[in-house]
Amino acid sequence: MNSQAFIPLVYQEVTEEAQLQKSRSFYEQMNNRRSVRHFDTKEVPKEVIQNIILTAGTAPSGAHKQPWTFCAVSNTELKLAIREAAEKEEYLNYTKRMSEQWLKDLEPFDTDWQKPMLTDAPWLIVVFRKAFDLVDGEKKKNYYINESIGLACGMLLSAIHHAGLVALTHTPSPMQFLVDVLQRPQNEKAFLLIPVGYPAKNCEVPKLERKTLDEISVFYE
């Protein structure tokens, strides 16, 4: 017999009419989410960040191993250390490592090696993926780590947006400096660096088009 305990699913059916209304309004809300690169320095309460991380932690994961750690940084010195290290790598990326084509593809976003958002934003959430777990010094395997952590990050971004805040999914490369600055254990690797906060006054974002439903889906009925 399966020794795992089972409990009744918490589930409330909604009418078709409510499904239509809720799915439409959630889409409209999510369609306003944008990556933001200019942050105000206004503070965000720690409890809001904790709730957002709790939401991300509800993501499904391979064998329910939850192979993630969310480090939330508001400490001024640590944010500065992260910014300086990120800018060092990004300077090399923009001046040496990135191809002509890559730089051209990034032109619409007006990005460069300077990352003021890493000190302006009140919080940086650094998401770490756990290649394995360490239980009493013993290695325990995790599964589908990238899929799991990608799902958790999607839910994290949705929770940030839902809370009325903005974020940037930042991927300085390489990201080893985050393990060093935050003194993470050897089983953790940085996955995403996410400044969270309020947009700067008169913040602008690139004029982007999203693909249409026809372009992103195929229905087989």
In the complex, which residues of this chain contact ligand IYR (CB under 6 A)? 90, 93, 106, 109, 111, 170-173
Considering beta carbons, is residue 106 or 205 the nearer one to ligand IYR?
106
DSSP H or E segment with residue 190? strand 188-197
Considering beta carbons, is residue 107 or 138 the nearer one to ligand IYR?
107
- With beta carbons less than 8 A apart as the criterion, state whether 149 and 89 touch: no
Smallest distance, ligand IYR to C-beta of residue 78, A? 19
DSSP H or E segment with residue 73? strand 68-73
**The pair of three-digit structure tokens given for residue 40, joined into one six-digit string:** 């105000």
Distance of CA 9 to the CA centre of its chain: 28
Cβ-closest residue to ligand IYR? Answer: 111
Considering beta carbons, is residue 79 or 170 the nearer one to ligand IYR?
170
Smallest distance, ligand IYR to C-beta of residue 106, A? 6
Between CA 83 and CA 113 the distance in angstroms is: 10
| Phi, psi at 39, each rounded to 5° | -110, 150
**The pair of three-digit structure tokens given for residue 79, joined into one six-digit string:** 């944010």
- With beta carbons less than 8 A apart as the criterion, state whether 93 and 113 touch: yes
Considering beta carbons, is residue 95 or 173 the nearer one to ligand IYR?
173
Considering beta carbons, is residue 13 or 110 the nearer one to ligand IYR?
110
Smallest distance, ligand IYR to C-beta of residue 4, A? 41
Considering beta carbons, is residue 108 or 185 the nearer one to ligand IYR?
108
Backbone φ/ψ region at 57: left (φ over 0), alpha (ψ -120 to 50), beta: alpha
| DSSP assignment letter at 97 | I
Cα-Cα-Cα-Cα dihedral of 57, 60, 63, 65, to 10°? -10
Considering beta carbons, is residue 160 or 194 the nearer one to ligand IYR?
194
Q: Which residues pair with 135 in a beta bridge?
A: 138
Smallest distance, ligand IYR to C-beta of residue 170, A? 5
- Please state, as a whole number, how many other Cβ atoms lie within 10 Å of the Cβ of residue 93: 16
